[in-house]
Chain A
Amino acid sequence: MNQTQTSTGPILTTDGIPLKVSLKKAERINKIRAFLLVLPLLAFILITFLVPIGDMLARSVDDRQINTVFPKTFEVYKKWDRQGLPSEEVYKTMFFELKNSEGYAVGKASTRMNYSKSGWKSLLKKSKRKFKKIEEGPFKEQMIAIDKKWADPEYWLALGQMVDPTTMGYYLNAVDLKYDSSKNIVQQKENRRIYNKTWIKTFKVSLLVTLFCLLLGYPISYLLATLPMKYSNLLMICVLLPFWTSLLVRTVAWMVMLQQKGVLNNLLVMSNLLADENRFQLMYNQTAVVIVMTQILLPFMVLPLYSVMKTISPTYMRAALNLGASPMHAFYKIYMPNSIPGVSAGCLLVFIIAIGYYITPELVGGKDGQMVGNWIAYHLKTTLNWGLCASLGAILLAMMTVLYWAYNKIVGIENIKLG
């Protein structure tokens, strides 16, 4: 009887407000408080993480620069049929827009135009200087007299790639494609095709590094987790000491070890295991990058593995052995599945760090060890082609997102454990 009564009417608090409402109210205050507590962190992430990434993504498609510097030229340019040389009108508009431009707009535009066709930069600079003396037309002949590049249709055709304010050109560039003059997608010139190879190389090196880290890290972590405290502490220090040593010091130490006249080769030759002229080429190539990066990234594999293995109770294995499983079988059926969260965490961590690595490939990579990070650095610093940097970075980001998604589908993200 009592029960039916309570289920029909809402439960009221002493002041007559339904309990649900008053509870919500109290909770809302708590929620706001909690939100205020995380607000600084949220703002921090927004400002230092999301905004820069958004800015980067915007840069990777932005192509307004030319359109704002030479708007009229592009208007008349669009009418040109792309056969032979453009008409006098195009030359004339270009002439006046260049001559009357002020400030640094032309400099910035010329940097952009130079990406499409090398030579635009000096052509615009030289022409702007000499245009001062020219007062009246016809302009075509006079411009060609200043520099014969104005008579080269290649330069004019290259402008065709830039007519729109946004472009996919940087992304195309990042996978060895490009626009031709009428904005069809074509392959990059053969001797400039370099990014696809670099992508494959970057993946290959990162996968190999992850694999070797796992192969080396698994037994170490197992030892660490199962040895008595007094030995495992010592072993832990052996893992952590290199981790605390500067990256540069470790990289340079590897150079000394592995180069052709280095410690390893010298030892092998001295002990007559290797002929002097057959010294191994272990430095300044891809092999060197894999070896050195494996050593540098090993702690990122060992630490999550160790912390997960530490939680696997030894009684499981004992029980399995007691029930008649062979040690191999027990390991395969009991220990390994339990350690999977650590394996996934370690692999994901190592792979993600490896794929964006820069300094080690730069120092020991030599002729074929350069990764995507090295090209990003080059364009960031030397050519100032930030659009290309942004697109390379965005592709990396997309790859990581896909990888994460695939991982979540196959293994499940809740299975990741860092400890």
Chain B
Amino acid sequence: MRKAIKAAFFGLISMAFVGSAIADITFVSWGGAYTASQQKAYIDTYSKGSSITVENYNGGLGEIKAQVEAGNVTWDVVDVLPDQAITGCDEGLFVKVDQSEFINDMVVPPVSDCVVPQIFWAYTAFYDKAAFPGKKPKNIKDFFDVKKFPGKRGIHTWANALIEMALVADGVKASKVYEVMSTPEGIDRAFAKLDTIKDHVVFWSAGSKPLELVSSGEVVMALAYNGRIGAAILSEGKNFEYIWDATVLEQEYLVAIKGGNEAEALEFMAHASTAESNAEQAKYIPYGPMRKSSIDIIKKGEPWFIKEGGNIDILPHMPTTPKVLKRAVIGDPVWWADNGAEVHERFGAWKGS
């Protein structure tokens, strides 16, 4: 009996070792509908041997830096924002990748040597059609005009995109926004514009919150991630309308963490960043692919968005169509990597005063 237990015990131990010999990849992303779209688009279809565990995080480089510095890397592939892609690559937290496959097929050039393309997402203003029976808000000026459209506005608790939008609402051309922001007067001007709605704002920090705020009537308009608005309209049948003006486009990338299962991670990233995978993801969430050829695939395949009872055209919900791009601000991660901390502190002081 005792022998049997002993055998079983050692058997278990050796199994544990064999188990860890097959490389697993831990894929870390933001959760919710976004991660679900990644799962369906290219995790479920991946068949190169490594099994993939999905984890959620809340952004930032804190955990990654801690793992790399402690030499105990448990994350392999992470979905990151562009300014973090820059900082992480500079500080040696990420593995450099071969970008020759996609570098000429991208809507904007990649922000660093460590990334493979994912999606464009956007900060967009939106409202519930029922809240405005008469005249409807049309542009970002209306969002900042509480006399013309009275009622509260939902905005996020950090400064990104708000500075850009405030400047456009104040009359700066979308293409000149970062030029103005690089002068101290430009930032003053943005804060002066934000002052005009200060008494009329409700702050949110979780991505699902602005939808709730608008649905419940707590606010009449809000800024939100375009994919969340799209999902609410497409999947839940909400009566929301986008304000496609001064939409701030942000990039999203995948990176491999240094010290993780680098080889497997890179192989998986190559699969996740093909034009097909990028396009496939748009079947489940209305974010814009970063590869030009993915957009062609979608155009040919419309109605592309998968829904029970008939697919739906996805392009009207995408932030990268020419119609939207004409009036959009393409977020500049380099500017934010430089000035983010300073502006954020000032934003914190503005919020609290």
Q: Is A261 in the interface zone, CB < 8 Å from B?
A: yes
- With A284-B203, A382-B60 in contact, is A368–B351 under 8 Å at CB? yes
In contact, B60 and A191 (Cβ under 8 angstroms): no
In contact, A192 and B60 (Cβ under 8 angstroms): no
Minimum CB–CB distance from A317 to chain B (whole Å) comes to 48
In contact, B337 and A378 (Cβ under 8 angstroms): no
- With A121-B337, A381-B62, A383-B341 in contact, is A368–B346 under 8 Å at CB? no
Q: Is B54 in the interface zone, CB < 8 Å from A?
A: no
Interface of A is mostly: helix
Minimum CB–CB distance from A192 to chain B (whole Å) comes to 5
Q: Is A193 in the interface zone, CB < 8 Å from B?
A: yes
Q: Which residues of B contact A198 (CB under 8 A)?
A: 352
Q: Which residues of A contact B351 (CB under 8 A)?
A: 367-368, 370
In contact, A201 and B352 (Cβ under 8 angstroms): yes
Contact of A103 among B60, B61, B92, B349 (CB under 8 A): B92
> What CA separation (Å) do A380 and B64 show in the bound complex?
11
> What CA separation (Å) do A106 and B89 show in the bound complex?
11
Q: Is B20 in the interface zone, CB < 8 Å from A?
A: no
Minimum CB–CB distance from B166 to chain A (whole Å) comes to 15
Minimum CB–CB distance from A102 to chain B (whole Å) comes to 11
In contact, A191 and B349 (Cβ under 8 angstroms): yes
In contact, B352 and A367 (Cβ under 8 angstroms): yes
> What CA separation (Å) do A379 and B345 show in the bound complex?
10
In contact, A193 and B349 (Cβ under 8 angstroms): yes
- With A194-B345, A370-B352 in contact, is A125–B90 under 8 Å at CB? yes
In contact, B61 and A381 (Cβ under 8 angstroms): yes
Q: Which residues of A contact B59 (CB under 8 A)?
A: 381-382
> What CA separation (Å) do A348 and B339 show in the bound complex?
40
Encode contact with B along A117-134: 1 for CB under 8 Å, 0 otherwise.
011111001000000000
In contact, B342 and A192 (Cβ under 8 angstroms): yes
> What CA separation (Å) do A201 and B201 show in the bound complex?
21
In contact, A381 and B90 (Cβ under 8 angstroms): no
In contact, B91 and A111 (Cβ under 8 angstroms): yes
Contact of A194 among B63, B218, B352 (CB under 8 A): B352
Contact of A111 among B87, B157, B201 (CB under 8 A): B87
Q: Which of A43-72 contact B (CB under 8 A)?
A: none
In contact, B341 and A122 (Cβ under 8 angstroms): no
Q: Is B217 in the interface zone, CB < 8 Å from A?
A: yes
Minimum CB–CB distance from B54 to chain A (whole Å) comes to 20
Encode contact with A along B173-187: 1 for CB under 8 Å, 0 otherwise.
000000000000000
Q: Is A110 in the interface zone, CB < 8 Å from B?
A: yes
Q: Is B202 in the interface zone, CB < 8 Å from A?
A: yes
> What CA separation (Å) do A367 and B218 show in the bound complex?
16
In contact, A362 and B205 (Cβ under 8 angstroms): yes
Q: Give B84's nearest chain A residue, CB to CB.
A: A382
Q: Which residues of A contact B191 (CB under 8 A)?
A: 191
Interface of B is mostly: helix
> What CA separation (Å) do A201 and B205 show in the bound complex?
20
Q: Is B338 in the interface zone, CB < 8 Å from A?
A: yes
Q: Is A114 in the interface zone, CB < 8 Å from B?
A: yes
> What CA separation (Å) do A375 and B158 show in the bound complex?
12
Minimum CB–CB distance from A214 to chain B (whole Å) comes to 27
Q: Which residues of B contact A383 (CB under 8 A)?
A: 340-341, 344
Q: Which residues of B contact A197 (CB under 8 A)?
A: 349, 352
In contact, A114 and B205 (Cβ under 8 angstroms): no
Minimum CB–CB distance from A107 to chain B (whole Å) comes to 3
In contact, A261 and B217 (Cβ under 8 angstroms): yes
Q: Which residues of A contact B65 (CB under 8 A)?
A: 384, 386
Query: Which of A120, A201, A382, A386 has the largest number of chain B CB atoms within 10 A?
Result: A382
Contact of B338 among A104, A122, A191, A378 (CB under 8 A): A122
Contact of A118 among B89, B218, B339 (CB under 8 A): B339
Chain A, interface size category, equals: 35 or more
Encode contact with B along A266-309: 1 for CB under 8 Å, 0 otherwise.
00000000000000000010000000000000000000000000
Q: Is A363 in the interface zone, CB < 8 Å from B?
A: yes
In contact, A385 and B352 (Cβ under 8 angstroms): no
Q: Is A84 in the interface zone, CB < 8 Å from B?
A: no
In contact, A363 and B334 (Cβ under 8 angstroms): no
In contact, A122 and B334 (Cβ under 8 angstroms): yes
Q: Is B100 in the interface zone, CB < 8 Å from A?
A: no
Minimum CB–CB distance from A176 to chain B (whole Å) comes to 10
Q: Give A388's nearest chain B residue, CB to CB.
A: B341
Q: Which residues of A contact B338 (CB under 8 A)?
A: 114, 118-122
Encode contact with B along A83-108: 1 for CB under 8 Å, 0 otherwise.
00000000000000000000110111
In contact, B352 and A261 (Cβ under 8 angstroms): no
Q: Which residues of A contact B47 (CB under 8 A)?
A: none
Q: Is A366 in the interface zone, CB < 8 Å from B?
A: yes
Q: Which of B302-353 contact A (CB under 8 A)?
A: 334-335, 337-342, 344-346, 348-352
In contact, B348 and A104 (Cβ under 8 angstroms): no
In contact, B339 and A192 (Cβ under 8 angstroms): no
Minimum CB–CB distance from B94 to chain A (whole Å) comes to 10
Contact of B91 among A104, A119, A120, A122 (CB under 8 A): A104
Q: Which residues of A contact B157 (CB under 8 A)?
A: 366
Q: Which residues of A contact B342 (CB under 8 A)?
A: 118, 192
Minimum CB–CB distance from B195 to chain A (whole Å) comes to 12
In contact, B341 and A114 (Cβ under 8 angstroms): yes
Minimum CB–CB distance from A226 to chain B (whole Å) comes to 43
Q: Which residues of A contact B217 (CB under 8 A)?
A: 261
> What CA separation (Å) do A114 and B83 show in the bound complex?
14
Contact of B90 among A107, A119, A368, A380 (CB under 8 A): A107
Having A108-B90, A367-B351, A382-B59, one finds 6 other A-B pairs with CB under 8 Å, namely A107-B89, A107-B91, A118-B338, A191-B346, A194-B352, A384-B65
30 A-B pairs whose Cβ atoms sit less than 8 Å apart in the complex: A104-B90, A107-B91, A111-B91, A114-B338, A115-B341, A118-B339, A122-B338, A125-B90, A192-B345, A197-B352, A259-B216, A260-B218, A284-B202, A284-B203, A363-B206, A366-B157, A366-B202, A366-B203, A367-B351, A368-B352, A370-B352, A378-B344, A379-B341, A381-B59, A381-B62, A382-B60, A384-B65, A384-B87, A385-B341, A386-B65
- Chain A residues packing against B (C-beta within 8 Å): 103-104, 106-108, 110-111, 114-115, 118-122, 125, 191-194, 197-198, 201, 259-261, 284, 362-363, 366-368, 370, 375, 378-386
- Chain B residues packing against A (C-beta within 8 Å): 58-63, 65, 84, 87, 89-92, 152, 157, 191, 201-203, 205-206, 216-218, 334-335, 337-342, 344-346, 348-352
3 nearest A-B residue pairs (beta carbon): A381-B60, A107-B90, A104-B92
